[in-house]
């Protein structure tokens, strides 16, 4: 069945770069898009970006200058990199496909 | 960017009540509107897609509708398991945008 799982550091220092990995199973990245969505504690959902089946990307306007999404199709992995992290980037980060299949999310705390 | 204005932000209702949550789109999004349910500590769950289509496994008491730029999620008879936060999402244009959420509680 379709599964997605996020992994990465739980704690990131301010001004540093966040690197997250989404490992998928049950579907092919060359046939399906993967999105990233984040949710600050106690707040709403924010769409971050997408990497399409063909490898093209689109990003949230507010994050575009700091955000990069890439993939390794041979490993069924999608990567999120976001630089210049601040405390307001503290959130649960989700990867998902077709908005029907979500990972469990990974909490990233930005703090010194 | 398309703004999705969701109302109300919170709602208290009794078991068996009919409940309606609404999202208004700032631009035409056709029927490219989904609804999600999120319970504490869980990932969001897709409930409705294409404004009116029920995702597999979603109880039939949930329904979606559209009137112009207003999109609604209705629960015909509220059950205790429906207490959650609900979000709309437009997926017509990039960037995709969510509504602010509606917290549904039992009275």
Which token pair is B93? 């244009």
The Cα B22–Cα A81 span in angstroms is: 34
Query: Among residues of chain A, what percentage have pLDDT more than 70?
Result: 100
The CA distance from B40 to the nearest CA of chain A, in Å, is: 10
Taking residues B22-32, what's their average pLDDT? 97
Taking residues B14-23, what's their average pLDDT? 98
The Cα B74–Cα B82 span in angstroms is: 11
pLDDT digits (tens, 9 = 90+) for B90-103: 999 999 999 999 99
Q: Quick check: helix, strand or coil at residue B82?
A: helix
CA-only gyration radius of chain B, Å: 13
pLDDT digits (tens, 9 = 90+) for A63-89: 999 999 999 999 999 999 999 999 999
Predicted local distance difference test score (pLDDT) of residue A29: 97
B40-67 per-residue burial string, b: 16 or more CB within 10 A, e: under 16? eeebbbbbbbebeebbeebeeebbbebe
Contacts of B1 in chain A (CB under 8 A): 61
Predicted local distance difference test score (pLDDT) of residue A107: 98
Judge whether B80 is closer than 8 Å to chain A, CB to CB.
no
A47-85 per-residue burial string, b: 16 or more CB within 10 A, e: under 16? bbbbbeeeeeebbbeebeebbbbebeeeebbbbbebeeb
The CA distance from B53 to the nearest CA of chain A, in Å, is: 13
Give the end-to-end CA distance of chain A in Å, rounded to a whole number.
39
pLDDT digits (tens, 9 = 90+) for A40-56: 999 999 999 999 999 99
Judge whether B50 is closer than 8 Å to chain A, CB to CB.
no
Contact B55 A100 (CB under 8 A): yes
Judge whether B72 is closer than 8 Å to chain A, CB to CB.
no
Taking residues B36-40, what's their average pLDDT? 98
Taking residues B30-37, what's their average pLDDT? 98
pLDDT level of residue A99 (50, 70, 90 thresholds): very high
The Cα A96–Cα B60 span in angstroms is: 25
Predicted local distance difference test score (pLDDT) of residue B77: 98
pLDDT level of residue B107 (50, 70, 90 thresholds): very high
Contact A47 B97 (CB under 8 A): yes
pLDDT digits (tens, 9 = 90+) for B41-75: 999 999 999 999 999 999 999 999 999 999 999 99
Q: Which residues of A touch B (CB under 8 A)?
A: 35, 44-47, 49-50, 58-61, 94, 96, 99-100, 102-105
The CA distance from A112 to the nearest CA of chain B, in Å, is: 25
Which token pair is B45? 């769950």
Predicted local distance difference test score (pLDDT) of residue A100: 96
């Amino acid at each position: 069945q379709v599964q997605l799982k996020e992994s990465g550091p739980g704690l990131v220092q301010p001004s540093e770069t966040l690197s997250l990995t989404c490992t998928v199973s049950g579907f092919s990245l060359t046939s399906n898009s993967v999105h990233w969505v984040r949710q600050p504690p106690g707040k709403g959902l924010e769409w971050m970006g997408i990497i399409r089946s063909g490898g093209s990307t689109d990003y949230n306007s507010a994050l575009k200058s700091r955000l990069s999404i890439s993939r390794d199709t041979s490993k069924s992995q999608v990567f999120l990199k976001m630089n210049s992290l601040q405390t307001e980037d503290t959130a649960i980060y989700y990867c998902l496909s077709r908005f029907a299949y979500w990972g469990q999310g990974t909490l990233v705390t930005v703090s010194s | 960017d398309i703004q999705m204005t969701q109302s109300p932000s919170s709602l208290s209702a009794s078991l068996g009540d009919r409940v309606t949550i609404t999202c208004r789109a700032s631009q035409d999004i056709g029927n490219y509107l989904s609804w999600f349910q999120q319970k504490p500590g869980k990932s969001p769950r897709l409930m409705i897609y294409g404004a009116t289509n029920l995702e597999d496994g979603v109880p039939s008491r949930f329904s979606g509708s559209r009137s112009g730029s207003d999109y609604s999620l209705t629960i015909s008879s509220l059950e205790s398991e429906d207490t959650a936060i609900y979000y709309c999402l437009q997926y017509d244009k990039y960037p995709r945008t969510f509504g602010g959420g509606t917290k549904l509680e039992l009275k």
